[in-house]
Amino acid sequence: MKKDIHPDYHFIDVKLLSGDVVKMRSTYGEENATLTLDIDPSAHPAWTGGNQRLMDTGGRVTRFKKKFEGFGF
């Protein structure tokens, strides 16, 4: 591995929406810098499974179901 071409990898504090602070290693900022998240795993629907709904834009899902209704979908 070449020397002096890689970013410094150090510990930072990551502040979650709940107010919890987690210590992680990162190349972000300086040693002991604080990174405040706008979206985190404790609140975002992609990780919590909330707000899952099927959007039928322009009837595409309905047309698909009608086209393949004989296949048991």
* Full DSSP string of 10-60: EEEEEE-TTS-EEEEEESSSSTT-EEE-SS-TTT-HHHH--S-----GGGH
Determine the pLDDT at residue 73. 59
**pTM for the whole thing?**
0.55
- The amino acid present at 73, given as its one-letter code, is F
Structural domain contains residue 26: yes
Average pLDDT, the chain: 83
CA 47: distance to chain centroid? 7
The per-residue pLDDT for range 50-59, each reduced to its tens digit, is 655 666 666 7
Greater confidence (59 vs 66) lies with 66
The token duo for 11 is 């510990």
Domain span at 26: 1-40
Structural domain contains residue 48: no
Structural domain contains residue 8: yes
Determine the pLDDT at residue 53. 64
Number of domains within the chain: 1
Structural domain contains residue 68: no
